[in-house]
Amino acid sequence: MGNLAVTGIADLPTEILDMICATITDPIDVAALTYSFRRIYLLAETKTFNTVVIKSRTQNIAFQSALRTRSQRAAGVRHLIVDRFQSWIESRYGDTDNSVEDDSKESEENDVNEEWEEEEEAVWDDSDSEICTLPLLVNLRTYRVAMGQPEQPKPIQTMLETAACGFGLSNLKTCSITLLFYDDSGDNSGNMCCFGSVFAIPSIEEITIRRCSASDFTTSSLSKLDAASHHHQTSLRKLYWLGGGLSADALNQILAFPRRLEELSIEAVGRYMAPDVRILPEDWNSYIDVICKHQPWLQSLCLRANFTLNNTWSLQLNGLLELLSLSIDDTMLFSQHVILDQAGAPVKNFPPNLRALRLTSGYCKPFDDAQQLLCTLLGRAPFLRHLTYSVTNPIVPPDFREACDKAGVTLDVVKLATEPIF
């Protein structure tokens, strides 16, 4: 058996777990632990994990409990995934799967948690620093964490700050952080400062940050980037910013230190998006100005939003001459404004080497003057091979599809969702 996925593991008796350990192969690929961390040691002492997935529905289990194992086998862990924000979503927005849990189950979970806390206190020396457990994960390649409560990022920050200093997670390649909460005070700088530590990890190649907050992510949240610049960061290749709240100043600071970023995605969408998060037309062009300043060799760019408030605006792509893939996904954007300027003339310096383009039609008629747009597009991007249209009405005129076929362009038409998708 190559994979192991166990749900409700706290309910399994020790004899059953021993039986599982005796029958599975070594190493196992996945260990998914739910409700309690206390049984992870029974498996960790006998088997090597490639991937550990921890999904906790309880609110007060210490985050670092998942990593407090004396077993040197933890050095074999390549991927660590901690998912704790699902229960927060359910408490804030209602149960997402419409299931009802009775009070007895909640009481049972609390009892399990109390058992674990007592066991942890009895087994582990509290004088040991949590940081001392990090060398056990020196081979960790992927770290994905989703937290739902404002007070949770502190242990994440400690871990990532340590990694940024070259200690512990020195081989980390991919990091994904989801923080899903609103700060009623409007100040998230304290809870967001762990993000700066992510960027300062020398070995990091791919970063995904997903957040949902009413306040902007500003330069005050990026204090650790100064340290990153001293590392001469050259590894980061892909950056995905999902959830909005990114100021142009903060983006300017972020993009200043990677030596050669290849892929960038900025998306301000989500079912749980704060109501005052909007993308203005000047925001997109401000982002592009920053990209052209620091990363003119960018090969893939995705800009996605729920709202822009000006339908006569055009996107300024000047300077992104090496772009191979461009995705502009905005439900209120007229797609021709990516290709034509406000006067109806072709935009200047359209990326000449573009291979793939994704556009949305917004709520206009998607294929008005489609032939002219296609001719203009192919004139500016002669190597275009893939065109994706997101439209509210996915009916494509035959002559438009025929023109794409003749030009050697693969056309995909996607029905535009009427509601934001998280």
Return the CATH number at 23: 3.80.10
User: Do 54 and 81 touch, CB atoms closer than 8 A?
Assistant: yes
- Establish if 252 belongs to a structural domain: yes
Res 183: pLDDT: 45
What is the number of structural domains in the chain?
Answer: 1
At 140-150, the pLDDT tens digits run 787 777 665 54
Interval 38-54 mean pLDDT? 50
- Establish if 241 belongs to a structural domain: yes
Interval 377-402 mean pLDDT? 80
At 262-276, the pLDDT tens digits run 999 987 765 445 545
Say how far apart CA 279 and CA 331 lie, in whole Å: 11
Say how far apart CA 107 and CA 124 lie, in whole Å: 26
Say how far apart CA 226 and CA 207 lie, in whole Å: 18
- Establish if 14 belongs to a structural domain: yes
Res 370: pLDDT: 60
Res 263: pLDDT: 94
Helix (H) or strand (E) run with residue 359 in it: strand 356-360
284: pLDDT strictly greater than 80 = no
- Establish if 49 belongs to a structural domain: yes
- Establish if 419 belongs to a structural domain: no
Q: How confident is the model at residue 237 (pLDDT cuts 50, 70, 90)?
A: very high
35: pLDDT strictly greater than 80 = no
- Establish if 245 belongs to a structural domain: yes
Interval 68-96 mean pLDDT? 48
- pTM more than 0.85: no
Q: Which residue has the tokens 């194992």?
A: 69
Q: Is pLDDT larger for residue 401 or for residue 277?
A: 401
Per DSSP, the chain holds a count of helices (H) and strands (E) of: 13, 14
Residue 149 CA from chain centroid, whole number: 17
CB atoms within 10 A of CB 408: 10
> By residue range, what is the domain housing residue 112?
4-97+104-322
Out of 40-49, 86-95, 140-149, least confident range: 86-95
The overall average pLDDT reported for the chain is 61
Q: Is 126 exposed, middle or buried (0-12, 13-18, 19+ CB in 10 A)?
A: exposed
Res 264: pLDDT: 93
- Establish if 333 belongs to a structural domain: no
Res 142: pLDDT: 79
- Establish if 306 belongs to a structural domain: yes
